[in-house]
Amino acid sequence: MASAGDKPALRIATVNVNGIRAAYKRGMAEWLADREIDILCLQEVRAPDAIVRDLLGDEWHILHAEAEAKGRAGVAIASRTEPVAVREHIGEDYFALSGRWVEADFKVPVEGEEKILTVVSAYVHSGEVGTPKQDDKYRFLDVMAARLPVLAATSDYALIVGDLNVGHTTLDIKNWKGNVKRAGFLPEERAYFDRFFSDEIGYVDVARKLAGEVAGPYTWWSWRGQAFDNDAGWRIDYHMATPGLAERAVSAVVDRAETYDARFSDHAPVVVDYQF
């Protein structure tokens, strides 16, 4: 178990690796070795299952959904303890082979009882205005909006993490004024997140709750130009938790690399400790 203060906590991390093989060549293994993570959620894995298992190693229980399109998407959940149940797609046949959603149920101890924690690793489409890619993004968000209440109703705690490819508010994008007509910050996309984090669906944006109303902290920066050096980023990687779980979040950290050259992905991991 990880530690939060002097009490045990469950440490859950999410990161879009932008190709796990490339990430390992750039130093992902060194980051992972020192982080004492209990549950690791990955997006844009873009590798065959055998390679994923070889890179992560035998110490992890691995749930991995490859995309039908080779070299695209792919999501995974790697955990130190074995899940009690797993589901490999979001529940609609249209997205069954898209490699964008996996669910795993874990037993967690709460006040002498065993409760069920459902963890989802999700990779929402990036989209492109006026194209079928954007249509697929809205369709996926529609299915998410239906799935989230089901998870909240059937698990003691539910957590959706991953690259959700939408900046919710103006605090989540450094240069938001120039992006209001671009996929990732469209009003129609942001309205879904209004619903996710409202009383209607009822999830909590954990990193925002802990950080407060501040710019960022951003989780993605373009490889191009000076975006990383100038911290001109987007906050599009989330921990979305049911309220009871969000109350147990004691820290949220974006593991931003110290320098551009030290990055193993164009995304940075979001690491949250949950106190049980």
Which residues make beta-bridge pairs with 44?
Answer: none
Neighbours of 211 (CB within 10 A): 16
Q: Which of 105, 163, 172, 237 is catalytic?
A: 163
Q: Exactly one of 24, 123, 157, 203 is catalytic; which is it? A: 123
Q: Is 175 marked as binding a ligand?
A: no
Is the C-alpha dihedral spanning 264, 27, 252, 241 positive or negative?
positive
| Catalytic residue of the set 64, 267, 273, 274 | 267
**Cβ-based neighbour number of residue 227 at 10 Å:** 19
Is 165 annotated as belonging to a binding site? yes
- Determine if residue 179 is labeled as part of a ligand binding site: no
Active site annotation includes 123: yes
What is the crossing angle of helices 132-154 and 187-196, to 10°?
A: 0
- Distance between the two ends of the chain, CA-based, in angstroms? 11
Q: Let me know if 267 is a catalytic residue.
A: yes
Q: How many whole angstroms separate alpha carbon 232 and alpha carbon 228?
A: 6
Q: State the Cα angle at 83 between 81 and 85, rounded to 5°.
A: 170
Strand, helix or coil at 120?
A: strand
Binding residues: 16, 44, 163, 165, 266-267
Residue ranges for the binding site for Mg(2+)?
16, 44, 163, 165, 266-267
Catalytic machinery residues: 123, 163, 267
